[in-house]
Amino acid sequence: MFKKLLIISAIILLSGFKANAGSDGELVLKKNQPSEIKDCFETLNRTTFAFNQALDGVLFKPVAKMYRVLPSPVKNGVSNSLNNLSNLITIPNNILQGDLKMAGVNSGRFIINSTVGVLGLIDVAEHLGFPEYEKEDYGQTLATMGVGPGCYLVLPVLGPSTVRDATASLANFMGGDAWYNVTVKNDTQHFSDFDYYASGVMSGIDFRAKNYDAIENLEKNSIDFYASVKSLYLQDRQQKIINANKIIQTQDDSDWEEIKSQ
């Protein structure tokens, strides 16, 4: 898996990004400053953004609106289960970032919640005093290695990203996501492709429902909704990379990366 990550890093380097594996926190912070990230593909991004808005209007928004009326225990159970699955990406990235302590904590979380917590529906680990869960992904790992974000990029369906993070997400399909491995890549007889894609769709719906009012207010009060979403996403992404805990503007405790991390 590490070899595959290095291959992805090399692809990014060949694309013109400057990596500095020995860069300190200040350099990582500077590279990921929203003001430092260029919107090189703005015309294409705005077109994709408009497509995503249309898709949201006919699919995610209506479903999220219905999802919001479900009993809280049901919604909490879905969120807990999705968070538990995302541990399968977070744990290897904890290791790659050299945070072995957090890798151990999240491994413990995953084992406890997958068993005693009934496949993650109940966050038993939280009640046992485990530290608050924080997601990590391959884009964050590359950022800690000093790889710059490149240009801002809006992906169809998946939404805001950067060239670095979009490229790094390929690691999920190259053996870096155990959930993908046991559902889509390999025939395990226990899970199917449907399980993987269903969890991805549910992540999108769960995220949209949690941020329903915030997104509606942002769209209503923004002169340029595209620019507002870009700014909000890049600020949040910067804080995720440096592991800051401050909540950005109207955003709740959800993660803008939730949609593409499953």
Report the 10 Å Cβ neighbour count for 143: 27
Domain positions in the chain? 2-260
- Confirm if 31 and 141 have CB atoms less than 8 A apart: no
**Who's near 206: CB < 8 A, 6+ residues apart?**
67, 75, 78, 79, 82, 258
| pLDDT digit string, tens, across residues 37-62 | 999 999 999 999 999 999 999 999 99
Beta-bridged to residue 154, according to DSSP, are: 160
Nearest to 211 by CA among 61, 74, 51, 81: 61
pTM across the whole model: 0.79
Phi (first) and psi of residue 128, to 5 degrees: -90, 5
Q: Please state, in angstroms and rounded to a whole number, the distance separating the CA atoms of residues 141 and 98.
A: 10
pLDDT at 23 over 60: no
Q: Please state, in angstroms and rounded to a whole number, the distance separating the CA atoms of residues 77 and 206.
A: 11
Q: Please state, in angstroms and rounded to a whole number, the distance separating the CA atoms of residues 103 and 207.
A: 25
Q: Please state, in angstroms and rounded to a whole number, the distance separating the CA atoms of residues 142 and 161.
A: 14
| pLDDT digit string, tens, across residues 112-165 | 999 999 988 999 998 898 888 889 999 999 998 989 999 999 999 999 999 999
| pLDDT digit string, tens, across residues 198-216 | 999 999 999 999 999 999 9
